[in-house]
Amino acid sequence: MSYKKDHIFISIKILTLTLFIIAFSISFNSFFTYAQTHITIKNNNHKNIYIQNYSIIHDSDKKVIIIGSIAAPHNLTLISPLEVTLGLNIYNNFSKKYEIIKEQPFKNPIYNVDEPIPFKFIIDPSKFYINSSSIPYIYSIKKASEQSTNINTFALKYNEARLGPSKELYGTVTNTAPNIIKNLTLYAIVHGKNGTQIDSVKTTIPFIKPYETVKFSFIPNRIVKDLVSTYSCVGGNLQDINAYQIININSNKTIGYKFSGFMEIDSINYDKKTDQFRLNVNNIYPISAALSLQIIPLQKNPISIKIDNHEDNSKTINNKEKSKIDLLIPQGKHEINIHGINS
């Protein structure tokens, strides 16, 4: 009889422990699941770019958030910038139809995939239903539009080891060029203590003056803040240049520039003492790309233009109160020097 009592007592303890584990698992999975699921999706457009991982967060606002990152082999070299679109299959509770929600990674267009690039889907469960088959995938990959210039003229400074009370990351970004930066998007991947990605964060800085330094912060979703260990893959993404980027030479004169083609701008500088405007660029398109310069007001005196220390004889076209110069920049990295704008 004593054995049966002990047996019953042990059975009750095991049952209690089992119920506790189940309850804890349900509670834990209410905000974080599929943390270590790794999926590689081949795509007809570009099979080398894939979803590296994804996780699901059920946040305190009852939204379903799917976060993850895209990646590629380390030896992958892109011959032109790409625009990547991600897809997620869901069911629309109102239209009673299956749909595809589309999002883009935080960096787009993509000039390289040296590091994973984060993404995020935010789903309202009152409108959409997701199930076990609702996983993010590469919906499409295409070449970026011809007007797609990558500006690298900003510097980030931050300390991953020093996080705020809500596990936020603080830093500064400096505009290292003489032109205004608009709508700079900064992003990062948030990792848990075991290294798993638990959030994708981004912030937008609307305006940075030439050579100005401004503060930024990344704040993770509060439902995962106690799991945050570190941040990685911190980067920035500027809007494409579709209009002239203006630099003030003095109070009465400006110079604007824009590119046609796939161009990376590594540095821009105007030296007032020497009256020299210098650009270091990289044309990654296999053919020559056009660099258009616009000087306001009309440039009356001749200017000197050199590409890699070789004189360029491009003509200056005067139109009303503006002067325009069109240069052809060959493939590869080049230094462009323009002298005499302010004379």
Give residue 322's Cα distance to chain centre.
35
Q: Does the pTM exceed 0.85?
A: no
Q: In whole angstroms, what is the distance from residue 86 CA to residue 330 CA?
A: 33
9 domain residue, yes or no: yes
Reduced to 3 states, what is the DSSP secondary structure of residue 25?
helix
Contact in structure between 178 and 210 (CB atoms under 8 Å): yes
In a shared domain, residues 217 and 172 = yes
**Shared domain check, 256 and 231:** no
Looking at the structure, do residues 249 and 262 belong to the same domain, yes or no? yes
Is 257 in the same domain as 291? Answer: yes
pLDDT digits (tens, 9 = 90+) for 66-123: 999 999 988 788 877 889 999 999 999 999 999 999 999 999 888 888 899 999 999 9
Residue 242: per-residue pLDDT: 58
Domain membership of residue 204 (yes or no) is: yes
Neighbours of 327 (CB within 10 A): 19
Residue 43 covered by a domain: no
Same domain assignment for residues 175 and 225: yes
Residue 238 near residue 204 (C-beta atoms within 8 A):
no
Three-state DSSP class for residue 341: coil
Cα 98 to Cα 86, 88, 139: the distances in Å are 16, 10, 16
Say if 159 falls within a structural domain. Answer: yes
Q: Is residue 41 in some structural domain? A: no
Whether residue 258 is found in the same domain as residue 277: yes
37 found inside a domain: no
Residues 113 and 153 in one domain: no
Q: Concatenate the DSSP letters of all residues of 188-234 into one string.
A: EEEEETTS-EEEEEEEEEEEE-TT-EEEEEE---TTTGGGEEEEEEE
Two structure tokens written together for 332: 């590869």
Dump pLDDT digits (tens) for 173-213: 999 988 888 889 999 999 998 999 999 999 999 889 889 99
CA–CA separation, 185 and 156 (whole Å): 12
116 and 68 in a common domain:
yes
Average pLDDT over residues 133-152: 81
Residues 323, 295 contacting (CB under 8 angstroms): yes
Distance CA(105)–CA(85), nearest Å, equals 7
How far apart CA 259 and CA 262 sit, in angstroms, is: 8
CB atoms within 10 A of CB 330: 12
Query: How are the residues of the chain apportioned to helix, strand and coil, as percentages rounded to the nearest 5?
Result: 10, 50, 40
Domain that holds residue 15: 1-30
Mean per-residue pLDDT, 15-23: 40
pLDDT tens-digit profile of 298-341? 898 889 999 999 999 888 898 878 999 999 999 999 999 999 98
CATH (domain of 212): 2.60.40.3230
Both tokens of 235, joined, read: 């980067």
- Overall average pLDDT of the 273-298 stretch: 88
258 and 329 both lie in a single domain: yes
The span from the CA of 73 to the CA of 95, in Å, is 40
Say how many domains are in the chain.
4
Same-domain pairing of 12 and 22: yes
CATH number at residue 94: 2.60.40
Domain boundary among 237, 256, 272: 237
Residue 162 lies in a domain: yes
138 and 154 housed in the same domain = no
| Distance from C-alpha of 40 to C-alpha of 145, rounded to nearest angstrom | 27
Q: Please indicate, yes or no, whether residues 285 and 334 belong to a single structural domain of this protein.
A: yes
